[in-house]
Amino acid sequence: MRKKNPPLLWKLFSYGLVVLVLLTYVKRSEEQFKRLGGANAKESSNDRIPCVVVKVYDGDTFKCRLKSGEEVKVRLIGVDTPESRKNRKAYRDARRSGMDIEEIIEMGRKASRFTKKLIPPGTTVYLETDVQLHDRYGRLLAYVYLPDGRMLNEVLLEEGYATVYTVPPNVKYAERFRKLQRKAMELGKGLWAE
């Protein structure tokens, strides 16, 4: 029996539905950006959102307070630091790398201390978002700028305390990040000295 093609009207309806879903997603992302302070972020360069650090969890995750008073958990885009405590990811990284779990935890603690020195509680940082605003855990994904204008994500790579972790669609600085990691590896900086 020959399969029938769907009628043209059904195809048009399906395409229209897809377009509607995409437009809704874009509109929702814009609304979330405005809620985070993006509408008032013009005070800082490139629509960066000011945020005061409340707590640093580890080398690539911290909590900060927006102008609205809302506290958000932020995950750095494009970088990954070793785990600073035993959890599933630490064990997975140990199996994958062949390293001892304790070595990974110690490296994670060094990365965490490095980040805590750069952004202690009370520091105002500036957040730049990319295509995707949140990860599957609800954390705000951001490129984070220090008060002196340097990007924290880049500093971690440059000093050897993080590795490149590219997750599309957030790839704005991926090539820059890869170059910084290669250089840190060549120079034996941070964790690459281990």
Beta bridge mates, 56: 62
Instruction: Point out the catalytic residue in the list 48, 128, 139, 154.
Output: 139
Please indicate whether residue 128 is annotated as part of the active site. Answer: no
The amino acid occupying position 136 is R
Instruction: Point out the catalytic residue in the list 48, 83, 154, 158.
Output: 83
Please indicate whether residue 70 is annotated as part of the active site. Answer: no
For residue 7, the SS3 value is coil
**63: phi then psi, degrees, rounded to nearest 5:** -115, 140
β-pairing, 140-145 with 49-58? unpaired
Instruction: Point out the catalytic residue in the list 48, 75, 128, 154.
Output: 75
Distance CA 164, CA 141 (A): 15
Distance CA 8, CA 30 (A): 33
> Of the candidates 108, 127, 132, 105, which has an alpha carbon nearest to the alpha carbon of residue 28?
132
Please indicate whether residue 83 is annotated as part of the active site. Answer: yes
Q: How many residues does the chain have?
A: 194
Q: Which residues are catalytic?
A: 75, 83, 139
